[in-house]
Each structure stands twice: as structure tokens, then as C-alpha cells.
């Protein structure tokens, strides 16, 4: 894999479990985050980041480096950005926008993306994204992780008490931010249109958490989670980077999976049943895989948020199967 150029992400380092003084003299904001737009070296809680694993975006897709900025005010968060239907494209896609096209990773029929240009750098200059338009009554940190983990490692998720329906998501590198924005911005989740843009913050500070409507914490650290899918170049290359569609590919399901089992899981989680299910056979007896189709992208997005990483019963052992989902290039399940 060609080497990745240095980006602003790799310049920030953080030693877990230590606290450093704030040399800039600037105070933290109301959410407990240092204002790094004034002094990018002042962050006391920045982890050392590995090189970006999938930075293969041709520069002509998204304009000049740093083109995302201009959406934010001096608070470090900025107002919710405008919709971008008529604006410039927010970063480069790694898979085809339309279903059935190549340019993604992992498996027959999906193909491989072009090699990364040697001089390409991420357009985002922060590994943190702001997400607006989340439905407070139905969302939590795990559901945000379940969606964003398709586009890069998710380090931390923090909801904003002062901005209902808004959350910060710290990704593993700036390239993951590019992918998340270009693939998720303007899509719908739980009936709400998502606005996804770059934050001025270089890292998420835990601050004082509070209880979300479902009783879970407003902050969660996913660093080291086994459900992150970009932990090595080999693992990253298996991912299918696709725009949201109404068809999900599932894998690592329990071996005796069936339509009835899926419908039972959907009923348990409050998700609409798939309109069509295709089970792949003969690939492995250790787990199951296949395709799940819904009537709309909104329905499949909800299923992804709710069902991704669901713990399926293991009929022959104590350890459950972690069901994994991603968007498919297939137009239909059958």
C-alpha cells in the first residue's frame, strides 16, 4: 500500500491517562473542549494516531485542501451547515454513488479503488465531525457508531447538551472524516436529514456527560473497540465503502440463520422487517452471510443503526455471533 502523506491529524499526539497543561491560556468551552482553532497544540488529550489506511481520493473530487471550512463560527462548533444539494461536493467518494458500480473493497463484484495519488492529503483538517439532525428520542452513541464505523475507525462519540440533536464523532484520521461526510451528509436517519461537517476541534474531551433519553451516557469511548473495521491495512482493505442504499450486506451471522430469525430480531429491536432476504450458501459453515433489502434507504439506515453488531445466539457455544452490516452494491436482494 502506498505511503500516506502527513496530514494535520498526524501532528497531534495524545498520551492516554495523562494530563498536560494548557499552554495557550485559552479556556475550555461550555462543552469541555479546548478551542484548538486558536492554538492547535494546546489539546491535552490527543492520542497518537496511526497513518491513514484508506486515503485513496483523487484530488479533483473535492476542491482545495481545507475546503470544508467556512461553515463554523468561533465557538469551535458553528451553526448547523446549510444543505449542500446545490453546492460543491463534500469530499470524494470511495465507491460508486450508484449501486452496481465498482470502486469499493472486499469480495467478488466489488472491485478495488484506484491507488492513492502520492501527493494527496485529506481535505478535512480535523479528525472530528459534527453531526446535526439526529433524533434525540431514538439515537445514542452506539447507534452513531454503527453507522459511522463503515467509513473509518470511530474513537469517541459525544452528544451536545446545549445543541439537542447534535453530536461530535472523533474518527481515526482525516481521511475517515472525508469519507463520512461524502457518504452520509444529507441522508436520512430516523426520518431526520443529517448534516455532517468538519469540526474545528482536534479531539473530543469527555467533559461532563449526561443521560440521553434512552438512559445511556452522552459520551462513549470506542478506542480499541473490536467492532472498528480499519485497525490494520489488511482489515481496512476488506471494507466495502458505499453510499447508503436500501440493500445491506450482512456477515458473521449465526450459522443457522433464517428469514424467521431476522424477522424476530427486527421485532425485538423495533425495526421494519426486510422486504427481501437472500442467504448465501456454501461459503462457510462457521457463520452466515447474505443480503437484506428494505423498501427505502431510510429504512435500511435505521436497520444499520439498530441492528449492526447485534449479538446473535450461538447454538453450539457460549460466545454469541456479532452480526455485521454494511451497504451493498446490489440493487436487490434477490
CA distance 248 to 309: 13
User: What's the grid cell of residue 208?
Assistant: 461532563
Alpha helices, H only, 114-192: 141-148, 174-184
Q: What pLDDT, on a 0 to 100 scale, did the predictor assign at position 127?
A: 97
3-state secondary structure of 145: helix
| Per-residue pLDDT in tens (0 to 9) along the chain, 334 residues | 444 444 444 444 344 444 343 333 333 344 444 444 344 444 445 555 555 454 433 333 333 333 333 333 333 444 444 333 333 333 333 433 333 333 333 333 333 333 344 444 568 899 999 999 999 999 999 999 999 999 999 999 999 999 999 999 999 999 999 999 999 999 999 999 999 999 999 999 988 899 999 999 999 999 999 999 999 999 999 998 999 999 999 999 999 899 999 999 999 999 999 999 999 987 667 899 999 999 999 999 999 999 999 999 888 888 999 999 999 999 999 8
pTM for the predicted model, two decimal places:
0.68
**Hey, how many other C-beta atoms are within 10 angstroms of the C-beta on 23?**
10
Q: What residue spans in the chain does CATH classification 3.30.70.330 cover?
A: 1-229, 247-327
* CATH code for the domain defined by 1-229: 3.30.70.330
According to CATH, the superfamily of the domain at 247-327 is RRM (RNA recognition motif) domain (3.30.70.330)
Amino acid at each position: 500500500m502506498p505511503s500516506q502523506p502527513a496530514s494535520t491529524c498526524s501532528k497531534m499526539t495524545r498520551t492516554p491517562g495523562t494530563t498536560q497543561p494548557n499552554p495557550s491560556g485559552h479556556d475550555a468551552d461550555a462543552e469541555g473542549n479546548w478551542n484548538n482553532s486558536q492554538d492547535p497544540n494546546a489539546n491535552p488529550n490527543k492520542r497518537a494516531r496511526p497513518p491513514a489506511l484508506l486515503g485513496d481520493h483523487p484530488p479533483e473530487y473535492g476542491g482545495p485542501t481545507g475546503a470544508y471550512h467556512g461553515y463554523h463560527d468561533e465557538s469551535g462548533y458553528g451553526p448547523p451547515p446549510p444543505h449542500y444539494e446545490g453546492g460543491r461536493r463534500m469530499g470524494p467518494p470511495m465507491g460508486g454513488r450508484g449501486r452496481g458500480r465498482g470502486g469499493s473493497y472486499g469480495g467478488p463484484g466489488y472491485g478495488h479503488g484506484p491507488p492513492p495519488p502520492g501527493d494527496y492529503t485529506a481535505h478535512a483538517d480535523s479528525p472530528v465531525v459534527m453531526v446535526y439532525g439526529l433524533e434525540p428520542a431514538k439515537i445514542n452513541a452506539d447507534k452513531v457508531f454503527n453507522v459511522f464505523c463503515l467509513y473509518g475507525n470511530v474513537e469517541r462519540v459525544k452528544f451536545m447538551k446545549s445543541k439537542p440533536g447534535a453530536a461530535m464523532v472523533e474518527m481515526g484520521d482525516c481521511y475517515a472524516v472525508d469519507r463520512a461526510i461524502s457518504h452520509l451528509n444529507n441522508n436520512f436517519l430516523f426520518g431526520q436529514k443529517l448534516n455532517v461537517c468538519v469540526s474545528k476541534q482536534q479531539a473530543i474531551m469527555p467533559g461532563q456527560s449526561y443521560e440521553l433519553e434512552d438512559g445511556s451516557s452522552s459520551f462513549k469511548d470506542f478506542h480499541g473497540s473490536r467492532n472498528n473495521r480499519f485497525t490494520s491495512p489488511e482489515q481496512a482493505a476488506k471494507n466495502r465503502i458505499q453510499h447508503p442504499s436500501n440493500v445491506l450486506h450482512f456477515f458473521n451471522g449465526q450459522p443457522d440463520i433464517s428469514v424467521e430469525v431476522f424477522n424476530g430480531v427486527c421485532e425485538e429491536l423495533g425495526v421494519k422487517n426486510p422486504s427481501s432476504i437472500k442467504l448465501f450458501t456454501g461459503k462457510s459453515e462457521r457463520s452466515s452471510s447474505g443480503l437484506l433489502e428494505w423498501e427505502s434507504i431510510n429504512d435500511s439506515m435505521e436497520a444499520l443503526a439498530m441492528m449492526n453488531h447485534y449479538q446473535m445466539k450461538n447454538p453450539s457455544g457460549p460466545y454469541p455471533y456479532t452480526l455485521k452490516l454494511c451497504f451493498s452494491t446490489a440493487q436487490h436482494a434477490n
